[in-house]
Chain A
Amino acid sequence: MNRNLLRAVILKTIPVMTGYVALGMGFGILLVSSGYGIGWALAMSVFIYAGSMQYLGVSLIANGASVISTALATLMVNARHLFYGISMIEKYKEAGKLKPYLIFALTDETYSLVCNDNGVEGSDPHFYYFLISLFDQIYWITGTLIGAWLGENLNFNTTGIDFAMTALFVTVFVEQWLTSKNHVPAVLGVAITVACLVLFGSELFLIPSMALILLSLSLGRKMLDKEAAEHE
């Protein structure tokens, strides 16, 4: 493997590494504190590999949720992945043998790294995206294992550790705010979701929120697309 490529991948993924190790640790600690050991934590991080879903999964498992409600919860929490997929169709079109893993490993954070990146000169962009995706999952698994180990071997009050998920999303939100000039989509996302939360309650608000976000962005396309073009 080309050393420049490896260096580029490591530099590129450092922010995700810090986030994933911290967040993975939070997940590992949380799962162990609910009575499930390191093997379960590993299985979830290898096969599910979706941060917020795994946090939610801890409470589903701990509360003995049904298969149906688990499937629905996953559908709602992870529906946003449909959008990531949609915007990556072009980019991953010619990825060949790497494509299944690239799609499987398209988490929020990996998406945020690859969506605006066109690769490193002199190497296959798909292999570059593959390495970014793989490294990110390795960070996530490493964090999970450290957290599960800490949870099993240290004794401290972990109440509130699940706030790591909120902190991650706030961080990404602020970062996106700083790097974009057009804040309308971000404001719409917050405002619509708050309105739906008030109207529909905390159990049902996610689907109407997603529908209204999609609708308002579609209706506002003329204005937003023009502004985006002006800022580019």
Chain B
Amino acid sequence: MSNGRVVILIAVMAAVTALLRFLPFWLLGGKRKTPEYIAYLGKVLPYAIMGMLVVYCLRGITPLVWPHGLPELLAAAAVAALHLWRRNTLLSIAGGTVCYMILIQFVFR
């Protein structure tokens, strides 16, 4: 791909991301008080969205076909276990990622 096209794709990603971040402030950011319903969504949505993102990240696994998503599920379980054990974000992320790399590079080749 030419450099010009890469610049365009990066600009598109940047513009759409910024649009999504600014839109609520433009549409709902008047001087009036935020509606209670919106405030409620702001409170409960982050939990649901994080669950959605975990599944989104694991969307590529194939439960019915070898390796049955085992590398991803084992590594995700390792992340959760590490986090329950030490509650150290860096340790959980780094440990889980290394675990996954070992699993797919050496164990489930």
List A residues at the B interface (Cβ < 8 Å).
15, 18-19, 21-23, 26, 36, 40, 43-44, 47-50, 52-54, 57, 60-61, 64-65, 67, 70-71, 74-75, 77-90, 92-93, 99, 103-104, 106, 111-112, 115, 157-161, 163-176, 178, 180, 183, 185-190, 192-194, 197, 202, 205-206, 209-210, 213-214, 217-218, 221, 224-225, 228
Residue B65, interface by CB 8 Å: no
- Pick the contact of B93 from A64, A86, A168 — CB < 8 Å? A168
Find chain B residues with CB under 8 A from A174 CB: 79-80, 83-84, 92
Most buried by B among A57, A67, A81: A81
Distance between Cα atoms of A65 and B17 in the complex (Å)? 17
Specify the main secondary structure of chain B where it touches its partner. helix
**Given A78-B17, A83-B41, A86-B42: A61 in contact with B6 (beta carbons within 8 A):** yes
Find chain A residues with CB under 8 A from B103 CB: 160
Specify the main secondary structure of chain A where it touches its partner. helix
B22 touches A164 (CB 8 A): no
B90 touches A193 (CB 8 A): no
**Given A82-B20, A189-B48, A190-B54: A163 in contact with B75 (beta carbons within 8 A):** yes
A-B contact count (CB 8 A): 269
Find chain A residues with CB under 8 A from B33 CB: 90
Distance between Cα atoms of A214 and B37 in the complex (Å)? 11
